[in-house]
Chains A and B, each alone.
Chain A
Amino acid sequence: MANVTVLNVNGTDASIDADGERTLLSVLRDDLDLTGSKYGCGEGRCGACTVLLNGSPVRSCQLPVGSVGQRKIVTIESLDQNGQLHPLQAAFLKYDAFQCGYCTCGMIMSGVAFLQKRKNPSDAEIIRFMDGNVCRCGAYQRIVAAIKDAAKSVQGAAQ
């Protein structure tokens, strides 16, 4: 696969020189030092590597960087703006919705994508959408609470 030389990440075109066969996750972490996205399983089964691609959540551990093209990548690193946390980040803090924190960035990115689609979600909808993200520490109940709480803030901000 041809080398990839440019990647639109967090609103900026980043210059890279990466074998297109490499995973997007590896390029983000190893070439662009964006280490908030994590390697958890390499199978797309745990969600720790979740980033947004044109607004949709993708498992970056599975995605060859050569297939990304012009699409816009958003990672956890761009979620807070001018020191202001995204409502879902704030809600994770409010509910202590983590323990070791290794799944947290992927959880938040999946949650952010979900909140863009569902403004007033039920627990069941959250659980269905988030089921591909694993928290081995088992903070699921808190994560659901955080997403529900953030939904109110996101909705409030939109109005």
Chain B
Amino acid sequence: MTSLEEFQVEAERYELSEPPRYRFDLDRREFFKLLGGGLVVLCFVGPALGQESGGGGRRGGGQIPTDINAWLHIGEDGAITVFTGKAEVGQNIRTSLTQAVAEELRVSVALVKLVMADTQQVPYDMGTFGSQSTPQMASRLHKIAAAARESLLGLAADHFKVERATLIFADGRISRSDASESVSFGQLTQGQKLVKSVTDDALATPAKDWKIAGTSVPKVDGREFVTGKHKYASDVKLAGMLHGKVLRPSAFGATLESLDTTAAAQMPGVTLVHDGDFVGVTAPDPLGAAHAVDAIRAKWSAKPQPSDAELFDYLRKNATEGGGRGGENSGSIEEGLKSAADKLQATYTVAYIAHTPLEPRAAVAQWEDGKLTVWTGSQRPFGVRSDLAQTFGVPEESVRVIVPDTGAGYGGKHTGEAAVEAARLAKAAGKPVKLVWTRQEEFTWAYFRPAGVVDITSGVAEDGTITAWEFHNYNSGGSGLRSPYSIANQKCEVHNTHSPPLRQGSYRALAATANHFARESHMDELAHAVKMDPLDFRLKNLQDARLRAVLEAAAEAIGWRGATRGGGHGFGLAAGTEKGSYVATCAEVLADKESGSVKVLRAVTAFDCGAVVNPNHLKNQIEGALMMGLGGALFEAVEFDNGMITNPRMAEYRVPRFSDMPKIEAVLIDRKDVPSAGAGETPIMCIAPAIGNAIFDAANIRLRSMPMVPDGLKG
């Protein structure tokens, strides 16, 4: 399945495909008015690249526009500034994109500044998701900066009146070959108003020659974070700013029947807003706003809604008609099962889980002369801008969305709820308004990773060859649906749910986590059915060289062959490939049937995402993905009943903590010969099945539902 098809089956992503409404005027005067004189290099995204960036025009029906996706400016003072719509949400993309530019301009990273995710300053970008920032934006920035280097060389050749081939470009200067004279970027761009554009053949430095990209550059603005100086959206403060709070309905989809705001309206400094089902307040401080909302008397009416107890039946029963879709089918399942020595049938489930970014949704909104500026944490600044423009009926040009580096998203911040709410309140109050969701609001009114049911029917020959593989996913989605194993007869399908019980959307790695949990658990069951070692069984059915390599590397690192089992110790492994990267995870657990305790002792992940851009940050992503994935694997689940979340607090929704931490090891396979793929998502895919398989190895108990041990091991 291609990534484009994946967009069509992923819930909450339908809204990500709007074509850009706003086009930056290409008039060079615009650039130089904005940026000052110097050299500007633009990266046009043509039709081919446009499709890559998320299928922009595909469902819009129109022609895919040629657009600018990023630009670089070298000022008359030599300052290097890059403008990109990508958002920093903890994946350290600010650092790695800086490395790309520094690499091509042969300067230290300290000399490159990135302006990110400010809709007034950066070109349109679909959003920061799908592990696309590295394969697309980083490679474009390499090209942009390489084109800038070529332009500077041309200017220097004119300056020295020599052939450009004789010049030396190093350490932020351009020198004559005999080093007798050199010139800085600023000297060359002084008095210039040059606009260049990147062509596809711009010569980016190959990964094997990288000196800055490919190295463990620390987080470029790390000092701001350890000193508390970095301003997240929730830290922004404007003169005269008020604090807002919204009255939440009694249940999902509830409508307002009656409202009494008398008491709230009498509170000093409180402004009330009642607009349809939207009810909110502003007050001079957050507690005042909370008290005012508490004083509002409202009656809501809501329809009966399903509870978590009936979730998986509900997902099957409410599958959209017309059967499944999306998979690559081959051969005949019937024939494959006929030739099998063993047949297995099993069902796997995953619960709804919450992203729980530590910074909840937050926004500060300000109206000035009919123009709206909003600071908010989001992975889709331009999407939020569209939402705001539509909500308030103003042109997109009148809305500016600024996304400061954000307190994480994990796929959970594609929407702009807090931005819209703060803007509505600010409009009424006539003053800037800050609105920060409480944790309880975040646990209730954000969206969740879809729950899902996976049914697998399989057959295996005596020698361990998989003869049939039928795989049906209900509701969680199509990412990672297709098996990477070589199977002659297979059928893999997704069944969407027409009315999911909870608001659901993107989550780090999307459905790949559910699909890998089901597939790699089932692979383990098949291996045991034919009494083969789970590693050997996988290798027997696997052709893909890169996937084999990570599998073998992970197994080697944990000491799979000859590992001592028994005494409650067990080992499990899992592997998979998504979004151009390859991952295998091995886990060692200690499972105690008596007490029911399960402790993950070690987790080793081998990872291949092509040429490694920043080894230390890549390891950090892998380690973090393992920790995060461990929560969903073992104990995280959103509980709900009749239109409300019943565990909307940290005290009730357990996230991984220090004491849950296994000894984690990341093994990097650096493929300098292969373009870099993204790495923020894929490393989360295999930890759950690796743990589940290790629990089976340790305790002979097969767990087919995530979370696997919310209340301990029960045998």
Contact residues in A for B243 (Cβ distance below 8 Å): 30
Say whether chain A's binding surface is mostly helix, strand, loop, or mixed.
Answer: loop
Q: Does B623 contact A138, Cβ atoms closer than 8 Å?
A: yes
Q: Does B287 contact A26, Cβ atoms closer than 8 Å?
A: yes
Counting chain A CB atoms within 10 Å of each CB, the highest count among B408, B410, B617 belongs to: B408
Contact residues in B for A42 (Cβ distance below 8 Å): 438-440
Contact residues in B for A127 (Cβ distance below 8 Å): 658-659, 661
Q: Does B231 reach chain A (CB closer than 8 Å)?
A: yes
Task: State in angstroms the CA–CA spacing of A108 and B658 once bound together.
Answer: 14
Q: Does B399 reach chain A (CB closer than 8 Å)?
A: no
Q: Does B657 reach chain A (CB closer than 8 Å)?
A: yes
The smallest beta-carbon distance between B561 and chain A, in angstroms, is 26
A window 72-124: CB within 8 A of B: 75-77, 79-80, 85, 89-90, 92-93, 96, 98-105, 108
The smallest beta-carbon distance between A114 and chain B, in angstroms, is 12
Contact residues in B for A80 (Cβ distance below 8 Å): 227
Give 1 or 0 for each of A21-52: 1 = CB within 8 Å of chain B CB.
11100100111011111111111011010000
Contact residues in A for B232 (Cβ distance below 8 Å): 38, 102
* A35 touches which of B92, B218, B223, B231 (Cβ 8 Å): B231
- Known A39-B360, A41-B649, A102-B232; judge A138-B407 contact (CB<8 A): no
Task: State in angstroms the CA–CA spacing of A76 and B234 once bound together.
Answer: 17
Q: Does B237 contact A131, Cβ atoms closer than 8 Å?
A: no
Q: Does B228 contact A142, Cβ atoms closer than 8 Å?
A: no
Q: Does A93 contact B661, Cβ atoms closer than 8 Å?
A: no
Q: Does B625 reach chain A (CB closer than 8 Å)?
A: yes
Say whether chain B's binding surface is mostly helix, strand, loop, or mixed.
Answer: loop
Contact residues in A for B358 (Cβ distance below 8 Å): 38, 40, 46, 48, 100, 102-103, 134-136
Q: Does B34 reach chain A (CB closer than 8 Å)?
A: no
Contact residues in A for B628 (Cβ distance below 8 Å): 136-138
Q: Does B406 contact A100, Cβ atoms closer than 8 Å?
A: yes
Q: Does A138 contact B626, Cβ atoms closer than 8 Å?
A: yes
Q: Does B644 reach chain A (CB closer than 8 Å)?
A: no
Q: Does A7 reach chain B (CB closer than 8 Å)?
A: no
* A26 touches which of B230, B235, B285, B617 (Cβ 8 Å): B285
* A36 touches which of B219, B228, B405, B656 (Cβ 8 Å): B228
* A134 touches which of B234, B436, B626, B655 (Cβ 8 Å): B655
Q: Does B33 reach chain A (CB closer than 8 Å)?
A: no
Contact residues in B for A98 (Cβ distance below 8 Å): 90, 219, 222, 225-226
Q: Does B229 reach chain A (CB closer than 8 Å)?
A: yes
Task: State in angstroms the CA–CA spacing of A104 and B235 once bound together.
Answer: 15
Q: Does B439 contact A141, Cβ atoms closer than 8 Å?
A: no
Interface size of B by Cβ–Cβ distance < 8 Å? Answer: 59
The smallest beta-carbon distance between A58 and chain B, in angstroms, is 17
Q: Does A21 contact B655, Cβ atoms closer than 8 Å?
A: no
Give 1 or 0 for each of B657-668: 1 = CB within 8 Å of chain A CB.
111010110000
Contact residues in B for A46 (Cβ distance below 8 Å): 358, 650
Q: Does A139 contact B226, Cβ atoms closer than 8 Å?
A: no
Task: State in angstroms the CA–CA spacing of A75 and B288 once bound together.
Answer: 24
Contact residues in B for A133 (Cβ distance below 8 Å): 658
Q: Does B287 contact A93, Cβ atoms closer than 8 Å?
A: no
Contact residues in B for A45 (Cβ distance below 8 Å): 649-651
Q: Does B627 reach chain A (CB closer than 8 Å)?
A: yes
Q: Which residue of A lies closest to B656 (CB)?
A: A138
Contact residues in B for A85 (Cβ distance below 8 Å): 223, 226-227
Contact residues in B for A38 (Cβ distance below 8 Å): 232, 234, 358-359, 407
Task: State in angstroms the CA–CA spacing of A18 and B284 once bound together.
Answer: 11
Contact residues in B for A40 (Cβ distance below 8 Å): 358-360, 439
The smallest beta-carbon distance between B224 and chain A, in angstroms, is 8
Contact residues in A for B616 (Cβ distance below 8 Å): 96
Q: Does A19 reach chain B (CB closer than 8 Å)?
A: yes
Task: State in angstroms the CA–CA spacing of A130 and B661 once bound together.
Answer: 12
Contact residues in A for B288 (Cβ distance below 8 Å): 19
Task: State in angstroms the CA–CA spacing of A30 and B286 once bound together.
Answer: 9
- Known A80-B227, A99-B620; judge A138-B625 contact (CB<8 A): yes
Interface size classification for chain A: 35 or more
- Known A22-B285, A33-B237, A138-B656; judge A100-B89 contact (CB<8 A): yes
Task: State in angstroms the CA–CA spacing of A89 and B226 once bound together.
Answer: 6
Task: State in angstroms the CA–CA spacing of A34 and B356 once bound together.
Answer: 24
Q: Does B91 reach chain A (CB closer than 8 Å)?
A: yes
The smallest beta-carbon distance between B661 and chain A, in angstroms, is 5
Q: Does A43 contact B230, Cβ atoms closer than 8 Å?
A: no
Counting chain A CB atoms within 10 Å of each CB, the highest count among B89, B230, B243, B657 belongs to: B657
Q: Which residue of B lies closest to A136 (CB)?
A: B358
Counting chain A CB atoms within 10 Å of each CB, the highest count among B228, B231, B658 belongs to: B228
Q: Does B357 reach chain A (CB closer than 8 Å)?
A: yes
Contact residues in B for A137 (Cβ distance below 8 Å): 90, 408, 624, 628
Q: Does A139 contact B620, Cβ atoms closer than 8 Å?
A: yes
Q: Does B225 contact A101, Cβ atoms closer than 8 Å?
A: yes
Task: State in angstroms the CA–CA spacing of A20 and B31 once bound together.
Answer: 51
* B235 touches which of A31, A35, A41, A130 (Cβ 8 Å): A35
Task: State in angstroms the CA–CA spacing of A101 and B436 once bound together.
Answer: 18
The smallest beta-carbon distance between A143 and chain B, in angstroms, is 8
The smallest beta-carbon distance between B691 and chain A, in angstroms, is 15
* B658 touches which of A22, A41, A140 (Cβ 8 Å): A140
- Known A35-B231, A38-B358, A41-B650; judge A96-B218 contact (CB<8 A): yes
Task: State in angstroms the CA–CA spacing of A132 and B658 once bound together.
Answer: 8
Contact residues in B for A131 (Cβ distance below 8 Å): 657-659
Q: Does B649 contact A96, Cβ atoms closer than 8 Å?
A: no
- Known A19-B287, A38-B359; judge A101-B227 contact (CB<8 A): no
Contact residues in A for B620 (Cβ distance below 8 Å): 96, 99, 139, 142
The smallest beta-carbon distance between B602 and chain A, in angstroms, is 12
Q: Does A43 contact B661, Cβ atoms closer than 8 Å?
A: no
Q: Does B439 contact A43, Cβ atoms closer than 8 Å?
A: yes
The smallest beta-carbon distance between B655 and chain A, in angstroms, is 6
The smallest beta-carbon distance between B599 and chain A, in angstroms, is 12
- Known A43-B650, A93-B223; judge A102-B408 contact (CB<8 A): yes
Contact residues in B for A89 (Cβ distance below 8 Å): 226-227
Task: State in angstroms the CA–CA spacing of A105 and B234 once bound together.
Answer: 15
* A99 touches which of B90, B285, B439, B655 (Cβ 8 Å): B90
Contact residues in B for A77 (Cβ distance below 8 Å): 227-228
Give 1 or 0 for each of B205-223: 1 = CB within 8 Å of chain A CB.
0000000000000110011
Q: Which residue of A lies closest to B222 (CB)?
A: A93
Q: Does B226 contact A108, Cβ atoms closer than 8 Å?
A: yes
The smallest beta-carbon distance between B433 and chain A, in angstroms, is 13
Task: State in angstroms the CA–CA spacing of A85 and B228 once bound together.
Answer: 12
**A-B contact list, 15 entries, CB within 8 Å:** A22-B287, A38-B407, A40-B439, A41-B439, A99-B408, A101-B225, A102-B408, A103-B358, A108-B226, A126-B658, A132-B657, A139-B624, A140-B661, A141-B623, A143-B658
| Apart from A96-B219, A100-B89, A128-B659: 16 A-B pairs, beta carbons within 8 A | A22-B285, A26-B287, A29-B235, A30-B285, A34-B228, A36-B227, A39-B234, A41-B650, A42-B440, A46-B358, A99-B621, A101-B226, A101-B230, A101-B405, A130-B658, A142-B620
List the 4 closest pairs (A to B, CB-CB), nearest first: A36-B228, A138-B627, A100-B90, A102-B407
